[in-house]
A and B are shown apart, each in its own frame.
Chain A
Amino acid sequence: MKLIFEKSKPGRRGSSLPKPSVPVVDRIPAHLRRNQPAELPELSEQEVIRHFINLSRKNMGVDTNFYPLGSCTMKYNPKFHERLAALPGFAELHPLLPQLRHGGQLTQGALAVVYEAQSILAELLGFAECTMQPLAGAHGELTGAMLIAAYHRSRGDAKRKIMLIPDAAHGTNPASAAVAGFRCEVVRSDADGNVDLEDLRAKLNDEVAGLMLTCPNTLGLFDPNVKTICELVHAAGALAYCDGANFNAIIGRLRPGDLGFDVMHVNLHKTFATPHGGGGPGSGPVGVAEKLVPFLPVSRVAKRADGTYSLEYTFPESIGYIAPFYGNFGVILKAYAYMLTLGREGFRRVSAHAVLNANYVRARLAGAYRQKYDRPCMHECVFSASGQAEKGVHALDIAKGLIDRGFHPPTMYFPLIVPEALMIEPTETESKETLDAFVDAMLELAELAETHPEKLHQAPVTTPVGRLDETAAARKPRLSEPVAEK
Chain B
Amino acid sequence: MPYIANTLEDTTEMLRTVGCSSFEELWKLVGVELPPPPLNLPPGLSEYEVVCRLRRLASKNAVDLVNFLGAGYYDHLIPAAVSEITGRTEFYTAYTPYQPEASQGTLQAIYEYQTMICRLTAMPVANASLYDGGTALFEAMMLACRVTGKRRVVLSEAVSPIFRRMIRCYCCNLDIELLEVPAGPADSAIGKLLEAVTPETACVLVQYPNVFGTVEDWSAFTAAVHDRKALAVCSTYPIALALLTPPGEMGFDIVTGEGQSLGIPLSFGGPYLGFMAVTEKYLRKMPGRVVGRTVDGAGREGFVLTLQTREQHIRRENAMSNICSNENLCALSALAYLSCVGKQGLIDVARACAANAVFAREQLLAIDGVEAVGGEAFFNEFVIRLPLDAAEAVGRLIDKGYAAGFPLGRYYPERGNQLLVAVTEKRTREEIKGLANALEAVL
- Is A52 touching B88 in the complex (CB atoms < 8 A)? yes
Binds B, one of A99-107, A198-206, A229-237, A447-455: A99-107
Residues of B near A255 (CB, < 8 A) are 37
The reply on B368 being an interface residue by CB < 8 A is: no
Residues of A near B282 (CB, < 8 A) are none
How far apart sit A166 and B278, CA to CA, in the bound complex (Å)?
A: 35
| Least Cβ–Cβ distance between A304 and chain B, in angstroms | 15
Total interface residues in chain B, CB < 8 Å: 208
How far apart sit A110 and B59, CA to CA, in the bound complex (Å)?
A: 10
- Is A479 touching B343 in the complex (CB atoms < 8 A)? no
The 7 closest A-B pairs by CB, nearest first: A89-B58, A325-B269, A343-B44, A181-B173, A277-B329, A281-B271, A109-B60
The reply on B83 being an interface residue by CB < 8 A is: yes
Among the listed B93, B241, B290, B395, which residue makes an inter-chain contact with A34, where contact means beta carbons less than 8 Å apart?
B241
The reply on A94 being an interface residue by CB < 8 A is: yes
How far apart sit A108 and B293, CA to CA, in the bound complex (Å)?
A: 47
Supposing A58-B105, A135-B135, A353-B4 touch, asked if A278 and B96 sit within 8 A by C-beta, the answer is yes
Supposing A363-B17, A465-B302, A467-B297 touch, asked if A95 and B42 sit within 8 A by C-beta, the answer is no
Residue in B closest to A277 when the chains form the complex, CB atoms: B329
The reply on A282 being an interface residue by CB < 8 A is: yes
* New A-B contacts (19) at CB < 8 Å, excluding given A52-B85, A124-B41: A3-B112, A3-B115, A17-B345, A38-B122, A40-B338, A41-B339, A58-B104, A61-B90, A94-B75, A95-B270, A99-B410, A135-B271, A136-B325, A275-B92, A281-B271, A324-B269, A336-B54, A350-B4, A477-B307
Residues of B near A62 (CB, < 8 A) are 89, 93-94
Residue in B closest to A114 when the chains form the complex, CB atoms: B268
Total interface residues in chain A, CB < 8 Å: 205
- Is B31 touching A224 in the complex (CB atoms < 8 A)? yes
Q: Which residue among B73, B93, B406 has the maximum number of chain A CB atoms within 10 Å of its CB?
A: B93
The reply on B119 being an interface residue by CB < 8 A is: yes
How far apart sit A155 and B424, CA to CA, in the bound complex (Å)?
A: 49
| Least Cβ–Cβ distance between A324 and chain B, in angstroms | 5
- Is A480 touching B125 in the complex (CB atoms < 8 A)? yes
Among the listed B55, B77, B325, B394, which residue makes an inter-chain contact with A137, where contact means beta carbons less than 8 Å apart?
B325
| Least Cβ–Cβ distance between B223 and chain A, in angstroms | 15
Among the listed B30, B54, B313, which residue makes an inter-chain contact with A359, where contact means beta carbons less than 8 Å apart?
B30
The reply on A305 being an interface residue by CB < 8 A is: no
> Chain A at the B interface: mostly helix, strand, loop or mixed?
loop
How far apart sit A465 and B99, CA to CA, in the bound complex (Å)?
A: 11
Q: Which residue among B6, B174, B243 has the maximum number of chain A CB atoms within 10 Å of its CB?
A: B6
- Is B50 touching A97 in the complex (CB atoms < 8 A)? no
Q: Which residue among B41, B94, B348 has the maximum number of chain A CB atoms within 10 Å of its CB?
A: B94
- Is A480 touching B58 in the complex (CB atoms < 8 A)? no
| Least Cβ–Cβ distance between A159 and chain B, in angstroms | 14
- Is B88 touching A53 in the complex (CB atoms < 8 A)? yes
- Is A28 touching B244 in the complex (CB atoms < 8 A)? yes
Contact with A along B140-159 (1 / 0, CB 8 A): 00100000000000000000
The reply on B118 being an interface residue by CB < 8 A is: yes
- Is A136 touching B326 in the complex (CB atoms < 8 A)? yes
The reply on B101 being an interface residue by CB < 8 A is: yes
- Is B81 touching A37 in the complex (CB atoms < 8 A)? no
How far apart sit A323 and B269, CA to CA, in the bound complex (Å)?
A: 9
Contact with B along A449-467 (1 / 0, CB 8 A): 0000000000010011111
How far apart sit A480 and B329, CA to CA, in the bound complex (Å)?
A: 19
Residue in A closest to B309 when the chains form the complex, CB atoms: A474
Among the listed B268, B311, B322, which residue makes an inter-chain contact with A142, where contact means beta carbons less than 8 Å apart?
B322
| Least Cβ–Cβ distance between A88 and chain B, in angstroms | 6
The reply on A240 being an interface residue by CB < 8 A is: no
- Is B300 touching A408 in the complex (CB atoms < 8 A)? no
Q: Which residue among A28, A83, A325, A403 has the maximum number of chain B CB atoms within 10 Å of its CB?
A: A28
Which residues of B, 20-44, contact A by the 8 Å Cβ criterion?
A: 23, 26-27, 29-34, 36-37, 39-44
- Is B328 touching A356 in the complex (CB atoms < 8 A)? no
The reply on A90 being an interface residue by CB < 8 A is: yes
Residue in A closest to B1 when the chains form the complex, CB atoms: A346
Among the listed A20, A99, A174, A432, which residue makes an inter-chain contact with B6, where contact means beta carbons less than 8 Å apart?
A432
- Is A76 touching B304 in the complex (CB atoms < 8 A)? no
Among the listed B125, B245, B358, which residue makes an inter-chain contact with A479, where contact means beta carbons less than 8 Å apart?
B125
Which residues of B, 210-250, contact A by the 8 Å Cβ criterion?
A: 215-217, 241-246
Residues of A near B106 (CB, < 8 A) are 59, 278-279
- Is B93 touching A275 in the complex (CB atoms < 8 A)? yes
Supposing A100-B394, A330-B267, A355-B30 touch, asked if A469 and B295 sit within 8 A by C-beta, the answer is yes
Residue in A closest to B294 when the chains form the complex, CB atoms: A473
Supposing A37-B344, A97-B403 touch, asked if A352 and B5 sit within 8 A by C-beta, the answer is no
A–B Cβ pairs within 8 angstroms, 14 of them? A15-B345, A17-B352, A18-B425, A25-B354, A26-B243, A26-B358, A29-B377, A80-B47, A100-B407, A341-B47, A343-B45, A414-B313, A477-B283, A480-B125
Among the listed B89, B103, B114, B317, which residue makes an inter-chain contact with A63, where contact means beta carbons less than 8 Å apart?
B89
The reply on A303 being an interface residue by CB < 8 A is: no
Residues of B near A56 (CB, < 8 A) are 85, 88, 90-91, 105
| Least Cβ–Cβ distance between A379 and chain B, in angstroms | 10
- Is A348 touching B92 in the complex (CB atoms < 8 A)? no
Residue in B closest to A84 when the chains form the complex, CB atoms: B54
The reply on A327 being an interface residue by CB < 8 A is: yes
The reply on B323 being an interface residue by CB < 8 A is: yes
Supposing A63-B90, A355-B30 touch, asked if A480 and B62 sit within 8 A by C-beta, the answer is no
Contact with B along A208-225 (1 / 0, CB 8 A): 000000000000011110
Residues of B near A14 (CB, < 8 A) are 79, 81, 339-342, 345
Binds A, one of B63-71, B179-187, B196-204, B434-442: B63-71
Supposing A5-B112, A17-B348, A408-B102 touch, asked if A480 and B325 sit within 8 A by C-beta, the answer is no
